[in-house]
Chains A and B, each alone.
Chain A
Amino acid sequence: GAGVSQSPSNKVTEKGKDVELRCDPISGHTALYWYRQRLGQGLEFLIYFQGNSAPDKSGLPSDRFSAERTGESVSTLTIQRTQQEDSAVYLCASSLQEGRYNEQFFGPGTRLTVL
């Protein structure tokens, strides 16, 4: 079946512009996660959703970052007034349910470059 998909695969933007990154989880997966991978770093947790609610958004680095999920399906990560330090690969994952026993399946990521 189809895996997690993300769009766009690459995004180049100018400093100060807003960007939206999209994640389509595996059908039927109720939990959805966003991570960020900066060059030479491991993945950093940003936020996760169970259904359309976000029980944990502790990883969002600033109020320029926000995310929403609708219809217990698609999620959008929005970065306002982008800065060069936002350049990274943004990875989305989904799992059947929240919790450690449920494997997270990752998408291919969106590579964001802020000039």
Chain B
Amino acid sequence: AQSVTQPDIHITVSEGASLELRCNYSYGATPYLFWYVQSPGQGLQLLLKYFSGDTLVQGIKGFEAEFKRSQSSFNLRKPSVHWSDAAEYFCAVAGGSGYSTLTFGKGTMLLVSP
């Protein structure tokens, strides 16, 4: 069965600094990977996804992620963090019947300091 690990429960970054959120996955075949963001009181929003091809994928809000098969990782990055980026971030892998269901990591809470 597939699984996703996000090793950092909380991360604090200064506004304007760069950000990297870690994600490791376990999956027997080609993974289909996603990053979602959950802001307080709001539903999850898709930031970006990786299916195949270029291992560096661009998403919304200036985020990008790099797929590294050799490390089973799909880390999320942003060059300069804004206070509005404070939220919880979830990495997920598609699996199950028809690859329709998502298996999520436990999330990383991003705090942005002035």
Contact = CB atoms under 8 A, between A and B. Distances in A.
A45 B97 contact: no
B97 A43 contact: no
B17 interface: no
By size class, the interface of chain A is 20 to 34
Contacts of A42: 4, 6, 90, 104-107
B103 interface: yes
Interface string B70-114: 000000000000000000001010101111111111110000000
A104 B104 CA distance: 13
Interface residues of B, number: 27
B7 to A, nearest CB: 13
B56 interface: no
Interface in A28-82: 31, 33, 35, 40-45, 48, 50, 55-56, 58-59
B104 A43 contact: yes
Contacts of B100: 31, 33, 48, 50, 55-56, 98-100
Interface string B18-57: 0000000000000010001000011111100101000000
A4 interface: yes
B101 A59 contact: yes
A69 to B, nearest CB: 14
A99 B97 CA distance: 8
Nearest to B95: A100
Given A42-B106, A59-B101, A91-B43, 10 more contacts: A4-B43, A41-B106, A42-B90, A48-B97, A55-B98, A56-B96, A56-B101, A99-B100, A101-B51, A106-B36
7 contacts: A31-B100, A33-B101, A45-B96, A48-B101, A100-B51, A103-B49, A108-B41
Interface of A: 3-4, 31, 33, 35, 40-45, 48, 50, 55-56, 58-59, 91, 93, 98-101, 103-109
